[in-house]
Amino acid sequence: YEHPAMEKFTRETYGIMVYQEQIMQIASEMAGFTMGEADTLRRAMGKKDRDLMARQREKFMAGCAERGVTAARAERVWELMEKFAGYGFNKSHAAAYALVAYQTAYFKANYPVEFMAALLTSEMGDTDKIVKYIEECRSMGIRVDPPDVNVSAVRFSVAGDAIRFGLAAIKNVGEAAMESILATRQKDGPFRSLEDFCARVDLRLVNRRVVESLIKAGAFDSLGLPRAHLMAHLDAAMETGQRQQREREEGQASFFDLLGERPAAGPRSEPVEVVPEWDADQRLAFEKEVLGFYVSGHPLARFRPLVDSLGITSSADLASRGPGARVLLFGQVAALKETSTKSGNRMAFVTLEDMDGTVEVTVFPEAFKAAGDLLRGREPLLVRGRLDESDRGRVVLADDIRPLERALAENGGSNGEMTRGEPSALRIRVPAGADAEATLAAVREACAGSPGGVPVFLHVLLPAHEVVVRSRAVTVDPDAGLLARLEELLGPGAATVDHA
């Protein structure tokens, strides 16, 4: 700790903690307390337990008298210890926690990737916190990549400037399967194809369910083939791998096996048509299934530019709102439990998922009657209601539930309903850098896929200033799909739409 203030702070902190130990030592040497009895005295002072301290005082005074310590001196020492107990224990704990806060802030500021990887690993069992910290990584500009059979360790790890998911984050991949995959990779090198993977790992441990989960999580993406294609060819790859493993066990080694070499993966004798990738929503749904959260994106991310200006309260912001506060939520239904009231009317308890986590919503009969069909689907919804404290914790009591698209088309209202004119410009923020040419080419290709009449303005972010250039050759229809594609290329908030 090079800063003089931190040196003083550290000395005081540990000085106070040492003083607690000295109280125990004083009680032991002056009054004959055992270390267990001295610790009881320390806890009594720390917790300010008056009754226990009174009994400990009598015991301390008696012990001092037995060892020839005068009553006046024993009384003076007790008063000093008791006075210290009034502030010292609180200060020592506050100082110790402050020191930990200082250390973690230092690591986050100076080693952000390593710090966030460690933080994610420490919360692997808490899905809500993982979602929260992944969003924090994205806001810090740290990329979080899916698991990879050729890179991932067991837990979250650092891969250059990014964080790589660990294999332990994938559901249905047990410890034995992980150990088999990592041991095989360490022994014989990276896996070159799905067939190579199935031929080398122990398929008695790494069964079909494990490989299927790896595919859905994106753990084979580095092989260069769509996840849908890998899933379509999984059975054939496993059948070939099982046959090769049986042959090895039966001693039917190939020429390359005898030489201790593996043949290079050459071209197939017959070209295989590549199966097109799943659509974005399906791919993300599979990620959620096997990881418990989204990694490569979020199904609601494409709507971010539309909802940023609506006064939305995110699930992460609810903690700062008091009971009775009016809120406007945006999300998809993650879970729905329908029930009947005593009068026979239908109502529901809904888990609404947004980009930061989940929030519990109670939908009473009147609101449920109007929105029951919407709650049974996956359409993005706007939910207006008020916060309430219940036996289930903090919930939102819904007053009105509507699809996002319909709510945006309607005029008037309050609490986020806005009158919006026609799109007048698409603004795209592009960072300058060594790969600027490739980035601009990808942006141009994305815009070409959504032709329309809205002009495009490029905001090129230079180190000292920003340059705005209007594209003369390209006009677009700035729909949700184009905005989502641009955010995939350039990051959240990189594309915004002006309205007349």
The pLDDT tens digits of the residues spanning 322-368 come to 888 888 899 999 899 999 988 888 999 999 998 888 899 999 998 99
Please state, in angstroms and rounded to a whole number, the distance separating the CA atoms of residues 363 and 340: 11
Residue where the block lists tokens 């999984």: 234
Tokens coding 497: 């739409």
pLDDT at 434 over 60: no
User: Could you give the maximum distance between any two Cα atoms of the chain, in Å?
Assistant: 100
pLDDT at 8: 46
Instruction: From residue 113, give the alpha-carbon distance in Å to each of 109, 160, 300.
Output: 10, 9, 25
Please state, in angstroms and rounded to a whole number, the distance separating the CA atoms of residues 80 and 86: 10
pLDDT at 111 over 50: yes
Share of the chain above pLDDT 90, in %: 30
Residue where the block lists tokens 């009449």: 453
What is the DSSP-derived secondary structure letter of residue 354?
Answer: -
Please state, in angstroms and rounded to a whole number, the distance separating the CA atoms of residues 322 and 318: 8
* Element of type H or E holding 228: helix 227-232
Residue 408 pLDDT class (50, 70, 90 cuts): low
In terms of average pLDDT, the best of 75-89, 253-267, 474-488 is 474-488
Taking alpha carbons only, the member of 106, 494, 76 closest to residue 304 is 494
Residue spans of alpha helices (H) in 34-111: 35-47, 50-66, 71-85, 88-110
Residue spans of alpha helices (H) in 123-226: 127-139, 175-188, 194-200, 208-217
Q: Which regions of 371-464 does DSSP assign to beta strands (E)?
A: 381-390, 393-403, 423-431, 451-461
pLDDT at 265: 44
Burial (CB count <10 Å: 0-12, 13-18, 19+), residue 498: middle
